Structure 1
Amino acid sequence: MAMSTGGNGPGGNGRRGRYRAMAEINVTPLVDVMLVLLIIFMVAAPLMTVGVPIDLPKTNASALNQETEPLTISVNAEGRIFLQETEVPLEGLVPQLQAIMREQKPGEQQRRIFVRGDRGINYGRVMEVMGTVSSAGFTRVALLAEQPSGRPAAAQPVAPAQPAQQPAPARR
């Protein structure tokens, strides 16, 4: 059996070998890895929001700029209240908020408090929570709603509740 080695010996044609080094980079594996990472991040991104599932109402209001991370109070469909992701009774909400605010640095602007209420919840329950928070002296309280694009937006801050004026009695 005769075999050609491609050398300069008898029967050789003067080339060192049959195959030359390829000078191109194969990007197919890189593209495959990038597509897998893209899919993973697309699936994981919606899961990085606040942990209490709430069906927010839609609004066309624009989002507010935030300097510090706000505190979030959520009222779910059953009417239970959550501070961030921890369930708290309505009576314990204000003391916990005050403890958080005491840890704030002196001279720093008061942290914003967002109230998120499920779409199907009674409006009175959300207003009860907001009234409790604002009556405790917190002035930067706002409602959250979901923008049509799917990201939450904050409504304008709500002024502290003022008692309704009684109509004047009719004179005869």
Structure 2
Amino acid sequence: MAMATRNEGSKVNSNINVTPMVDVMLVLLIIFMVITPMLNNKVNVDLPKTDSATVMEDANKEDAVTIAVTRDGTTFLGGDKVSLDDLGPKISAKLENKTNKQVFMRADARANYGKVMDAVDGVRAAGVSQLGLLTEKREQAEPVTTKK
């Protein structure tokens, strides 16, 4: 009489299928690549539109000192809310170890001009000689032709 034995354990596939994991990782990579440039501007302001805007590449750097003035007159240094009295000393502290003493300002198009000038005065009080005012380039509309 022969004894029947089960040999199922030798047929077990112990390989890990990494294809779904790679798919998920690629989707996450694409999402982070799309979202990362949006994180640079921590304070949302509606920049004024101009015809002769020039590109300021240094404003997009991670260590750039950026001031934002919102529509209601609130002043931000980077992503932190600051008062106008504290603006000068805080900018001086940020620029202390830098060779490039340039500051960039993002002011809302509908912000009170006096509040923007107060922020500029705070920047000048910190000893900054180069202040970049950030704007957006206006889209050129196609000329309208009329038939006579």
Q: TM-score range by the shorter chain?
A: 0.5 to 0.7
- Counterpart residue number, 1:14: none
Q: Which has the higher contact order (CA 8 A, sep 6+)?
A: 2
- Counterpart residue number, 1:80: 74
Q: Kindly tell me the number of residue pairs found equivalent between the two proteins.
A: 118
Is the 2:91–2:126 contact (alpha carbons within 8 Å) kept by the matching residues of 1? no
Root mean square deviation of aligned Cα:
3.1
Mapped partners of 1:56, 1:117: distance in 2: 6
- Counterpart residue number, 1:109: 100
Identity of aligned residues (%): 41
Q: Which runs of 5+ in 1 are unaligned?
A: 1-28, 150-172
- Counterpart residue number, 2:39: 48
- Counterpart residue number, 1:118: 108
Mapped partners of 1:99, 1:135: distance in 2: 12
More helix by share: 2
- TM-score, structure 2 length as denominator? 0.63
TM-aligned CA distance change 1:42 to 1:96, over 3 Å: closer
- Counterpart residue number, 2:83: 89
**Pair member with larger Rg:** 1
CA shift, 1:64, in A, is 2.6
CA shift, 1:62, in A, is 2.0
Q: Which runs of 5+ in 2 are unaligned?
A: 1-19, 140-148
Look up the equivalent residue of 1:54 and give its one-letter code: V
Aligned pairs for 1:135-146 (under 5 A) are 135-146=125-136
Look up the equivalent residue of 1:122 and give its one-letter code: N
Deviations 1:103-146 (A, max 9, x none): x05xx232x10111111111221122112211432101121112
Query: Which aligned segments of 4 or more residues in structure 1 are displaced greater than 4 angstroms?
Result: 32-39
TM-aligned CA distance change 1:49 to 1:100, over 3 Å: closer
- TM-score, structure 1 length as denominator? 0.55
Aligned equivalent of 1:63, options 51, 55, 58? 55
Look up the equivalent residue of 1:64 and give its one-letter code: M
